[in-house]
Amino acid sequence: MEQHTRTDAYTDRYAARAAGMVASEIRALFAVAARPEVVSLAGGMPYVSALPLDEVGRMVGDLVARNGAEVLQYASAQGDPVLRERICEVMALEGVQASADDVVVTVGAQQALDLVTRIFVDPGDVVLAEAPSYVGALGTFASYQADVVHVPLDEGGLIPAALRETLERLRREGRTVKFLYTVPTFQNPAGVTLTTARRAQILEIAAEYDVLIIEDNPYGLLGFDGDPMRALRADDAERVVYLGSFSKTIASGLRVGWVLAPHAVRAKLVLAAESAILCPSSFSQLAVREYLTTQPWREQIKDFRELYRERRDAMLESLDAFMPEGCTWTRPAGGFFVWLTLPEGLDAKAMAPRALAERVAYVPGTGFYADGDGRRHMRISYCYPEPHRIREGVRRLAGVVEQEIRLRDTFGGVEHQRSPGGVHTPGPDTV
């Protein structure tokens, strides 16, 4: 008789680093979340349908017809030189002065994270990351067997005093910190932004403890009020490695991102990129280059900002209207995400299947911590559903939270446990 077994017959063959690569326990739930009757506040997918798709289609067609021999060919590992110039113009909007020679084009900011971790981190090395942190970065750090130490954030972003305390403790323990990973602007998942005053403090502390900073900034141009924040990299070119992306400002499917690094680091990154992928896609790079040269990209970003602002407003208004007492949430000034904290004794992870039964999905907070913390939290995103769906989703979610509060009051609090180890690898639903 044929035997069906769910154990992995290759377990003994894997490298040690594969042990940290585990699928999210909630991934199975996402198959259900994708059903049309479910309002998904879980995904972090940009609303690419807002692009002038006919125009982009014509542009790409012309590009291949006119310049196919370049568009469809291998190219340099560092990336197209003209695109790198354009990237410097984009970063200038955040105060960054850079030479195109210090930019490496990558397959999204995700590959930038991978390359940076690859060149700096040995197994067991300490990487500092905000609590909570972007799930995809935690997956990368786990795959290189880093020891992630979290530093808390609040409404004003990463807390400088907590960073200093953590660095002091690690110094006393004789541990070297390889870098601090931070998403200072419109953070994923918390939706908070590092204040201007704290930016200076974080740079000062990093200099004092001689720590490199990895500034991941895919949402920087998607602010709802005023000019873009000044990037950390704008004030320290030697200590900050900057990661950028066109996923949210043009289209995530193109998979074009970049790293801006001090010159020596840039050289190592190019070698690492060569060994990983030979070169980034010429097709995608030249499509982005053409888009930035021929299309009104600044106006398009404005349109995206307006679209996401309207959705953010729909989410905040319905949270204010429907959420029961005891819940708190962040009020993002840009980006895609709200971070919601449940009343004491509730557990967002245990609640997720019950929320799905009520046709609403979110990402439980545990995915955003390397240590299994975060059960009282959840990430709800407003980037993808239309405003009326967001309102309906939040209304349903509020009903589920009310039921949980009643259960808690009847049967007592939930014992908060940390998840068993293992960092979730991101899927398209959790980016």
Ligand X SMILES: Cc1ncc(COP(=O)(O)O)c(C=O)c1O
Residue carrying the six token digits 């403090």: 201
Residue 191 as a binder of ligand X (CB under 6 A): the answer is: no
**Cα–Cα distance for residue pair 356/362, rounded to 1 Å:** 9
Tell me which of 26, 109, 128, 265 binds ligand X, using CB under 6 A.
109
Which residue lies nearer to ligand X by CB, 257 or 364? 257
Number of residues forming the site for ligand X (CB under 6 A): 15
Closest distance between ligand X and the C-beta of residue 68, in Å?
A: 26
DSSP 105-117: EESHHHHHHHHHH
Q: Is the distance from CB of 327 to CB of 340 less than 8 angstroms? A: yes
Residue 431 as a binder of ligand X (CB under 6 A): the answer is: yes
Write out the binding residues for ligand X, residues 28-67 only, by CB under 6 A: 44
Residue 110 as a binder of ligand X (CB under 6 A): the answer is: yes
Which residue lies nearer to ligand X by CB, 254 or 405? 254
Q: Is the peptide bond before 189 cis (omega within 30 degrees of 0)?
A: yes
Residue 327 as a binder of ligand X (CB under 6 A): the answer is: no
Closest distance between ligand X and the C-beta of residue 108, in Å?
A: 2
Residue carrying the six token digits 């006393």: 172
Q: What angle do CA 52, 218, 194 make, to 5 degrees?
A: 135
Only segment of 124-132, 220-228, 244-252, 409-417 that touches ligand X (CB under 6 A): 244-252
Write out the binding residues for ligand X, residues 5-24 only, by CB under 6 A: none
Write out the binding residues for ligand X, residues 112-151 only, by CB under 6 A: 134, 136
Instruction: Output helix, strand, coil percentages for the chain, rounded to the nearest 5.
Output: 50, 15, 35
Which residue lies nearer to ligand X by CB, 146 or 327? 146
Rounded to 10 degrees, the C-alpha dihedral 5/14/20/430 comes to -70
**Cα–Cα distance for residue pair 104/280, rounded to 1 Å:** 10
Q: Is the distance from CB of 231 to CB of 242 less than 8 angstroms? A: yes
Which residue lies nearer to ligand X by CB, 132 or 136? 136
Cα dist from 46 to 248, 289, 304, 367, whole Å: 6, 20, 9, 20
Closest distance between ligand X and the C-beta of residue 18, in Å?
A: 22
Which residue lies nearer to ligand X by CB, 128 or 400? 128
Give the residue at shortest CB distance from ligand X: 108
Write out the binding residues for ligand X, residues 263-292 only, by CB under 6 A: none
Only segment of 26-34, 104-112, 267-275, 324-332 that touches ligand X (CB under 6 A): 104-112
Tell me which of 140, 185, 245, 318 binds ligand X, using CB under 6 A.
245
Residues 236-267 as b or e (16 or more Cβ within 10 Å = b): bbebbbbbbbbbbbbbbebbbbbbbbeeebbe
Tell me which of 20, 43, 79, 108 binds ligand X, using CB under 6 A.
108
Write out the binding residues for ligand X, residues 204-243 only, by CB under 6 A: 216, 218
Closest distance between ligand X and the C-beta of residue 188, in Å?
A: 4
User: With 0-12 CB in 10 A as exposed, 13-18 as middle and 19+ as buried, what is 210?
Assistant: exposed
Instruction: For residue 301, give both structure tokens.
Output: 């970003």
Tell me which of 257, 332, 374, 393 binds ligand X, using CB under 6 A.
257
Closest distance between ligand X and the C-beta of residue 235, in Å?
A: 20
| Residues found near ligand X in the complex (CB under 6 A) | 44, 108-110, 134, 136, 183, 188, 216, 218, 245, 247, 252, 257, 431
